[in-house]
Amino acid sequence: MIRRFILYLIFICASIIWTILFECYELYLLTVVLIVMPFLMILLMWLSSAHLKVSHAIPKDKAEKGEKIPITINIDNKGFLPAILLKIKLTCTNELYNLSTEEIFEIPTLKRGKQSYIFALKSQYCGNIKITLNQIELCDYFGLFSIKKRVRLEKIIPVTPKLRVIEDAQIPVNVYVCMDGQTYSKNKEGDDVSEIFDIREYREGDELHKVHWKLSAKKDTLIVKELSLPLSSGMVIMMEMCVNNDDNSSTILDTIIDTVIAMSLYLQEREFVHYIAWHDGVSDKCSRIKVTPDMPISEIFANIYKSKIYSDGERVISSYNLSYFEEQQSHVYYISAVKDESLLQKLRMGRENTLLNYICVLLNEYEIDDEYTKIFEANDIKIQYVTCDNIDNTINNIEF
């Protein structure tokens, strides 16, 4: 458009010079038309934009990573003029990774009619994808000028990882811990929905799902349940949501999430209650959910996708130790791309009787360090590797 505008200015300057030099009526008339034309085009564009409505429809409520998400753009032009070119800008933002891409579609519109165009977007990574229609740009018939019209249409689509299957893993006998006889802390609240620690009046910032609605109706004020803190959490899967701001960091974190979900589904199918824990960069503390056999997988994604990633190495072990220092775990599965010998001490802290598993995520098998492996195994920490370039096979080979 800028190039055309420059050519237009050159043409109008040449026309003025020719009119002065040759004093020709036709050239004079051409010059007047060229000068008046921009004002006429702007007027016509303004009239067209006033009668133009754009909306979008996204039938999918969720999608798998790499799956196409169809987007229907509906255009309703009630004006008497067609639009030669309508530019529509769609912004696609992955809220987990804070990555944004823009797609610009150029389409013509008919006069006094409705049209629909179907486009497709897809996300390379998992997370909540916010699709936003920010603005439309209406161009004139010569492509010299445009009018931008702001719109605000958006929808959030959870993009899930490919659900991978762990087929041959064996659950150790000592994992079969009875959860019914579990004891709870008498001094500190927790996150176990099966047991109430205390009740109190609602305070600003309390989550609505903790409101005791029946008791609130009787008391005529909002009453909140404080959940109990179990002193034994059984099996815990810790995921390190750390990226190193390089070209492969998003791929590695996606592989970590894939691994966590595959392990959790494997335990769910065998009716093992377990926890998934991670450090949330938003609250700067440990987040944890209790996964029961009947919990829908969408609820797991919803909790993880609300978090914020970070870039400064190990955090989840330290924050978990701080938040749940009273608990004893039977098994801990630490899934991370962080390679640091200091993990030994942090994993072992207060877990003398816990079976520790360190699942290290790497780009490929060539990054596996045998000496690093021996150091952890010498300290009774089982280390396994999942590689991004062979994710299906390496996840399937995970041993519990």
Q: DSSP assignment of 90-112, as one string?
A: EEEEETTTTEEEEEEEEEEE-TT
Start-end of CATH 2.60.40.10 domains in the chain: 51-160
**Strand, helix or coil for residue 1:** coil
Q: Is 36 helix (H, G, I), strand (E, B) or coil?
A: helix
Question: Is the domain defined by 173-183+231-396 classed in CATH 3.30.300?
Answer: no
The residues, any chain, with a CB within 8 Å of residue 73's CB and separated by 6 or more, are 54, 55, 56, 88, 105, 107, 116, 117, 118, 119
Q: What b/e string do you get for 75-109 counting C-beta neighbours within 10 Å, with b at 16 or more? A: bebebebebebbbbbbebbbbbbeeeeeeeeeeeb
Classify 51-160 by CATH class: mainly beta
Q: CB 239: neighbour CB atoms within 10 A? A: 25
pLDDT of residue 245: 67
Instruction: Specify the length of the chain in residues.
Output: 400
Question: What span, in angstroms and rounded, lies between the C-alpha atoms of 164 and 168?
Answer: 13
Residues of the chain with CATH 3.40.50: 173-183+231-396
- H or E segment and range at residue 217: helix 213-219
Predicted local distance difference test score (pLDDT) of residue 339: 83
Sequential pLDDT tens for the chain (400 residues): 677 777 777 777 877 777 777 777 777 787 777 777 777 777 777 777 777 788 778 888 888 888 888 888 888 887 777 766 788 888 889 988 888 888 888 877 777 778 888 888 888 889 999 988 877 887 776 667 777 877 778 889 999 888 887 876 655 544 444 444 454 555 556 555 556 666 778 887 777 777 877 777 777 788 887 766 554 457 899 999 987 767 788 899 999 999 999 999 988 888 888 899 999 888 888 999 988 888 888 888 888 888 888 887 788 988 998 888 777 788 899 999 888 888 888 888 877 788 899 999 999 988 888 899 998 888 888 999 999 999 988 988 888 8
CA–CA distance, 301 with 265 (Å, rounded to integer): 12
By DSSP bridging, strand 146-160 and strand 127-139 are: antiparallel
| CA 238 vs CA 331, 360, 361: distances in Å | 11, 12, 13
Distances (CA, A) of 259 to 49, 383, 388: 50, 14, 10
Looking at residue 209, the DSSP 8-state letter turns out to be G
- How many whole angstroms separate alpha carbon 47 and alpha carbon 81? 8
Gap between the Cα atoms of 341 and 268, Å rounded: 32
